Structure 1
Amino acid sequence: MVELRPVPVDDPVARELLTEYFALRAQSFPGNAYTTVFPSVETFTPPEGVFLVLYDDAELAVGCGGIRRVADGSLGGRYEVKHLYLRPETRGRGWGRLLLDDLERRARRWDAAELVLDTHHTLEAAGGLYASAGFREIEPYNDNPNATRWYGLRLAPAEGGETL
Structure 2
Amino acid sequence: MDEGQVEQVRRFNRTVAERVGVLHDHYLGGARPYGQARLLWQIGDGGTHDVRGVRDRLGLDSGYVSRLLRALERDGLVAVEPHPRDRRVRTVRLTEAGRQERALLDDRSDALAASLLAPLNARQRERLTSAMAEVGRLLTASTVSLAVLDPDHPDAAHCLRSYAAELGELFDGGFDPANSLLPDPGELRAPHGLFLVARLHGEPVGCAGLKLPSGAPAEIKRLWVCPRARGLGLARRLLAELEERAARHGCDLVRLDTNRALEAATRLYRDSGYTEVPAFNDEPYAHHWFEKRLTPTAR
The TM-score with structure 2 as length reference comes to 0.48
Does residue 1:42 correspond to 2:186, yes or no?
yes
Amino acid in structure 2 at the alignment position of 1:60: E
Percent identity between the two aligned chains: 36
Counterpart residue number, 1:162: none
Give the direction of change, closer, same or farther, for the CA distance of 1:149–1:71 in structure 2 (3 Å limit): farther
Counterpart residue number, 2:145: 3
Counterpart residue number, 1:69: 212
Counterpart residue number, 1:28: 170
Contact 2:251–2:294, Cα closer than 8 Å, also in 1: yes
Amino acid in structure 1 at the alignment position of 2:252: A
Which structure has more relative contact order (CA 8 Å, sep 6+)? It is 1
Contact 1:51–1:65, Cα closer than 8 Å, also in 2: yes
Does residue 1:150 correspond to 2:285, yes or no?
no
Contact 1:53–1:64, Cα closer than 8 Å, also in 2: yes
Greater fraction strand: 1
1:5-51 residue CA offsets vs partner (Å, 9 max, x unmatched): 0000111110111001101101221123x230464331011231110
SS of match in other structure, 1:127 = helix
Counterpart residue number, 1:82: 221
Counterpart residue number, 1:161: none
The alpha carbon displacement at 1:54 in A equals: 0.3
Q: Distance in 1 between matches of 2:266 and 2:231?
A: 14
Give the direction of change, closer, same or farther, for the CA distance of 1:118–1:71 in structure 2 (3 Å limit): farther
Does residue 1:55 correspond to 2:55, yes or no?
no
Amino acid in structure 2 at the alignment position of 1:30: D
Q: How does 1:65-144 map to 2 (within 5 A)?
A: 65-70=208-213, 72=215, 77-144=216-283
Q: Distance in 2 between matches of 1:39 and 1:17?
A: 15
Contact 2:212–2:246, Cα closer than 8 Å, also in 1: no
Q: Which runs of 5+ in 1 are unaligned?
A: 158-164
Q: Which runs of 5+ in 2 are unaligned?
A: 1-142
Q: Distance in 2 between matches of 1:71 and 1:144?
A: 20
Q: Distance in 2 between matches of 1:148 and 1:130?
A: 14
Amino acid in structure 2 at the alignment position of 1:44: L
Count how many residue pairs are aligned between Structure 1 and Structure 2.
151
Greater fraction helix: 2
Q: Distance in 1 between matches of 2:266 and 2:203?
A: 26
Amino acid in structure 2 at the alignment position of 1:45: R
The alpha carbon displacement at 1:70 in A equals: 4.3
Counterpart residue number, 2:133: none
The TM-score with structure 1 as length reference comes to 0.86
Give the direction of change, closer, same or farther, for the CA distance of 1:70–1:148 in structure 2 (3 Å limit): farther
Contact 2:211–2:221, Cα closer than 8 Å, also in 1: yes
Give the direction of change, closer, same or farther, for the CA distance of 1:71–1:146 in structure 2 (3 Å limit): farther
